[in-house]
C-alpha cells in the first residue's frame, strides 16, 4: 500500500474513532489481535502473522514476529507507532511492555483470542495487578461502515470482477465443454491477475450440474457437461474483496421439462434478489431484508431449499459483519457494503444462486456490478 498523505488521513480518522470508543468504555489499554483489524488501523496487513496492536494511554505499539518486521516498517500508515519485533511469544513481549504502565485493566479482543491464549495472558497480567477483560467486536463494528478510501477500493475490486466475468463469458463459455471445473477456475484466476486484481478473495467455486446443489462445492476435474453452471468468485484489490455469483445453463438438456423447471426457479431466485435490492436502504434491519427475499421464495414453494442467510458484509474480509440473516436485528446504515445472494439448492438436480454486492445508501442501495443477470444459456 502506498502511504500517501491522503491515505494516511483515513488511518488517523479510524484511530481517532477507536480512541473515542475506548474512552467511552473506560478502557485505558486495548489489545487488537485480528490481522484484518490491525490492517484497518495501521496499514500493516500480515495475514496469519500473529501480530498484535496495542493502544495504551495513547501510546501505540505494533508487535510483529521477526519475519514481518521489514514489511511492517514499510507498510505502516500511522506515524509514531513503536514497532517491536519478537521471536518467540508475543504475549511474553506484551506483558514486558505493559509492565511499564500502571493500569487497572487491559482489554483484549475476546472473539479473536483463543480461550487458552486468554488464560495465558490473564495469568501474566495478574502478576502485574492488571485485570484482563474480554471486549468483543469493537473494530469489526467500526469496519461495517466503509469510509471513502474503502469504498474506492471495493469499487475497483468490483470493476475488475465485472471485467473478469465478461471476459470469461465471451472467450471461454463458447468452448466450455473442453474445460473441467478446475480448469475454468484457473482461467478465472488468470483473468483476475490480468485485469489488475491481486488474486482471488476466496477459493473460486465452479459447480456444474448436480454439484451446484452444494453451496460450497469444491471444484472437480470432470469436464463441464450440460446442466447448471454456478460460478462464484471474487478478487482482492488493494486488500479489499469482491464477491459475485452467476448461474448459467449449459447446453440443451434434451429434457425440456427439466430445463423449463430450472428456468422457472432461476426466475424465482432473480425476482427474490431484485425485491431485496429494491428494499435495501439505510434503516431496514438485516432480518427484515432477509425476510423479504425469503418470503418471495416461500410464496413459490422453494424456501426449504434456500439453505443460508441472504448475505454478509464484505470489505477487508470476504465475510465480515453484518450477517444479513433472520437472526440479526442490526439496522443497515449508509456505506455498509453487503452481498445479496438468495438461492435454491435441489439435491440431485442442482443449485441456482445470484449474488451482487451493494453499497447501502440513505434512500436505497447501489449495486456495485454491471454484469447481467438475465439467464444465459450456452448451447
Give the span between the Cα atoms of 251 and 231, in whole angstroms: 16
Name the residue nearer to a second copy (CB basis): 116 or 374.
Answer: 116
Closest separation between CB of residue 185 and a second copy, Å? 8
Instruction: Please report whether residue 264 would count as binding a second copy according to CB under 8 A.
Output: no
Name the residue nearer to a second copy (CB basis): 110 or 335.
Answer: 110
Beta-bridged to residue 174, according to DSSP, are none
Task: Give the sign of the dihedral formed by CA 355, CA 361, CA 365, CA 366.
Answer: negative
* Angle (CA) 166 170 174, round 5°: 140
Name the residue nearer to a second copy (CB basis): 256 or 327.
Answer: 327
Applying CB under 8 A, among 4, 6, 115, 329 the residue interacting with a second copy is 115
Whether the CB-CB separation of 103 and 1 falls below 8 Å is answered with no
Give the span between the Cα atoms of 113 and 118, in whole angstroms: 6
Give the span between the Cα atoms of 89 and 81, in whole angstroms: 20
Name the residue nearer to a second copy (CB basis): 152 or 183.
Answer: 183
Neighbours of 299 (CB within 10 A): 12
The stretch near a second copy (CB under 8 A) out of 15-23, 59-67, 240-248, 362-370 is: 59-67
User: Which candidate, 141, 155, 203, places its Cα nearest to that of 333?
Assistant: 141
Site for a second copy in 68-87 (CB under 8 A): 68-71, 87
Closest separation between CB of residue 107 and a second copy, Å? 12
User: Which candidate, 280, 273, 267, places its Cα nearest to that of 332?
Assistant: 280
Site for a second copy in 339-368 (CB under 8 A): 347
The stretch near a second copy (CB under 8 A) out of 113-121, 158-166, 257-265, 370-378 is: 113-121
* Residue ranges that bind a second copy, judged by CB under 8 A: 46-47, 49, 65-71, 87-88, 108, 110-119, 134, 136, 182-183, 186, 189-190, 193, 199, 203, 213-217, 307-308, 325, 327, 347
Amino acid at each position: 500500500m502506498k502511504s500517501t498523505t491522503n491515505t494516511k488521513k483515513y488511518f488517523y480518522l479510524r484511530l481517532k474513532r477507536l480512541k473515542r470508543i475506548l474512552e467511552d468504555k473506560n478502557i485505558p489499554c486495548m489489545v487488537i489481535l485480528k490481522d484484518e483489524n490491525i490492517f484497518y488501523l495501521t496499514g500493516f496487513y500480515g495475514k496469519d502473522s500473529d501480530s498484535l496492536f496495542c493502544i495504551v494511554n495513547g501510546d501505540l505499539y505494533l508487535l510483529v514476529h521477526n519475519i514481518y518486521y521489514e514489511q511492517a516498517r514499510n507498510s505502516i500508515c500511522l506515524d509514531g507507532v513503536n514497532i517491536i519485533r519478537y521471536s518467540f511469544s508475543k504475549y511474553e513481549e506484551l506483558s514486558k511492555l505493559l509492565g511499564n504502565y500502571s493500569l487497572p485493566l487491559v482489554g483484549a479482543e475476546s472473539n479473536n483470542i483463543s480461550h487458552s491464549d486468554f488464560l495465558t495472558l490473564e495469568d501474566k497480567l495478574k502478576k502485574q495487578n492488571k485485570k484482563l477483560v474480554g471486549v468483543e467486536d469493537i473494530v469489526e463494528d467500526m469496519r461495517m461502515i466503509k469510509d471513502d478510501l474503502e469504498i474506492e477500493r471495493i469499487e475497483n475490486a468490483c470493476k475488475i470482477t465485472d471485467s473478469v466475468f465478461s471476459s470469461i463469458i465471451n472467450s471461454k463459455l463458447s468452448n466450455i465443454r473442453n474445460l473441467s471445473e478446475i480448469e475454468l477456475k484457473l482461467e478465472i484466476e488468470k483473468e483476475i491477475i490480468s485485469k489488475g486484481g491481486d488474486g482471488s478473495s476466496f477459493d473460486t467455486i465452479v459447480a456444474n450440474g448436480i454439484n451446484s446443489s452444494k453451496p460450497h462445492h469444491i471444484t472437480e476435474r470432470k469436464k463441464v457437461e450440460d446442466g447448471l453452471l454456478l460460478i462464484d468468485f471474487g478478487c482482492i484489490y488493494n486488500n479489499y474483496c469482491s464477491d459475485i455469483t452467476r448461474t448459467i445453463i449449459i447446453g440443451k438438456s434434451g429434457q425440456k421439462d427439466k430445463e423449463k423447471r430450472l428456468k422457472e426457479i432461476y426466475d424465482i431466485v432473480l425476482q427474490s434478489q431484485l425485491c431485496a435490492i429494491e428494499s435495501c436502504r439505510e434503516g431496514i434491519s438485516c432480518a427484515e431484508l432477509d425476510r423479504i427475499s425469503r418470503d418471495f421464495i416461500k410464496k413459490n414453494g422453494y424456501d426449504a431449499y434456500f439453505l443460508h442467510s441472504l448475505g454478509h458484509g464484505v470489505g477487508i474480509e470476504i465475510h465480515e459483519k453484518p450477517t444479513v440473516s433472520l437472526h440479526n436485528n442490526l439496522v443497515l446504515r449508509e456505506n455498509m457494503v453487503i452481498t445479496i445472494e438468495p438461492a435454491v439448492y435441489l439435491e440431485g438436480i442442482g443449485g441456482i444462486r445470484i449474488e451482487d454486492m451493494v453499497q447501502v445508501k440513505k434512500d436505497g442501495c447501489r449495486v456495485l456490478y454491471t454484469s447481467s443477470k438475465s439467464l444465459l444459456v450456452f448451447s
